Amino acid sequence: MKELKSENKLCLLCMEEHEVKTVEMLETEIIKEKEVEFKAIYEYCERADELLETEDLIRLNSKSMRAAALHLE
């Protein structure tokens, strides 16, 4: 997990205001029976030790996954 940035804001996981990190991780999915690796971005709450994928990050991660899948064809 690589930290991209950090900011104080309301954390949607623990519902408290504190430093929330934006992190990048390597993810693996199966698409059309092929394993695809891509970089995914999440918000990370250290207090809950959990990752959150906001609506914007879902879109961004989906684009990243589709782009990685295209490189396999």
pLDDT digits (tens, 9 = 90+) for 6-46: 999 999 999 999 999 999 999 999 888 889 999 999 999 99
Boundaries of every domain in the chain: 2-70
Cα 25-56-62 angle, rounded to 5 deg: 55
Please give the mean pLDDT across all residues of the chain.
94
d(CA 40, CA 11) in angstroms, rounded, equals: 19
Whether 73 has a pLDDT exceeding 70, the answer reads: no
